[in-house]
Amino acid sequence: MLMSDQLPEARTAITSLLREARRRGMVESEVHFSRLLADTELRSGHCGRALDLGRESLRLARDSGIGESASAMLASLAEASGGDVERALTLAREAADHAEVDGDQLYLSLALAALGYAQLVAGDAQGAVRSLRRVRELEHGMGINDPARGRWQGDLAEALVRVGEPGEAQELINVTRVHALRLNRASVLAVLDRAEALVRAARGEHQAAYAQLTSAQERLAKLGFGLEEARAAFARARLRAAQGPGPAAYDEAARLFRRCRALPWLRQVERAVAAGPAEAEPVPAAAAGALDGLAAMERQVAALVMEGATNREIAARLFISVKTVEATLTRVYRKLGIRSRVDIVRLAAGRRTK
């Protein structure tokens, strides 16, 4: 039921099973069903309730020595959504370390997905990319292609956009969407649309991005995914605020996060309001002309970056290795005095408007 977005039905069934486990004194079952119910409440946007259940499941797991890694992983997700982000990071790393020692690839991928999410909430986009790329590799190795299992793809796409890799983000979205459509994972498809809107915004397609975020938010609301709905509202608010309408742009996102009791996310809204309208980082004026001064290979790589190609796609099209692409990009950044792929696109756009 959880995989197919039937949250009310899942809550009813799991609550009944948890009540019976407690009545019979079945500790192992109580740990398991407390964890499942916490997961259900988290997806429903009831972060406070999920946090209480996650903490209780972890306490029981540690007291009994049953299911500690799984409970730490779920507690991490709950902490990152509604509690203490630093504790979320600690719990996710603990779960990942245990799974690594046990050689359990399945739980390792889930723990790293929780770690990547906590890193994203903490503002460590680079760390989130590292963790979630490894989840992708692990799931590929295990032949797992149902995106409703770990639900990490939207987080990785968002983190990739934040670090200036919209091309890789779009590639991930395209691949994941095929599986989500085949399996009818409606909530996954809505989250992918939210992530794709971030890619579009990074490429300057603000109107299309706003429309896609609006659609994603409405669909997530209908499905009952309260926290994901609030995240879509937050993304819309950031896009609006970049156009300069002021703090009121964040009112809806703040209201939805308060309803969810998603305190770490609410603090992000407060910081965004305090920071004012987001502005693009200035690019050195002399750098625009430097595009013409790049070596032939550097110009080819930069041109493909402007098209949104990933490093892997660039390597395939130029018949070179991915490491050569990375080294070439490093030289391009140094010569142009910039730091990311987004800056290359911005330079090209600036040159075209002159």
The one-letter code for the residue type at 64 is S
Alpha carbon distances (Å) from 336 to 242, 308, 332? 26, 19, 6
Domain boundaries of the chain, sorted by first residue: 1-122, 145-278, 296-350
Cα 57 from Cα 72, distance rounded (Å): 9
| Homologous superfamily of 1-122 | Tetratricopeptide repeat domain (1.25.40.10)
Q: Taking a C-beta distance cutoff of 8 angstroms, is the pair 310, 133 a contact?
A: no
Domain 296-350 has CATH 3.10.20.30: no
Neighbours of 35 (CB within 10 A): 26
pLDDT tens for each residue of 28-74: 898 899 999 999 999 999 999 999 999 999 999 999 988 888 999 99
Q: Please count the residues of the chain.
A: 354
pLDDT, mean over the chain? 87
Chain centroid, CA 244 distance in Å: 26
Q: pTM of whole model > 0.95?
A: no
Question: 2-6, 214-218, 302-306: which has the minimum mean pLDDT?
Answer: 2-6
pLDDT tens for each residue of 117-158: 999 999 999 999 999 999 999 999 999 999 999 899 999 999
pLDDT tens for each residue of 16-40: 999 999 999 898 898 899 999 999 9
Q: Pick from 262, 265, 263, 240: which is nearest to 250 by CA?
A: 240
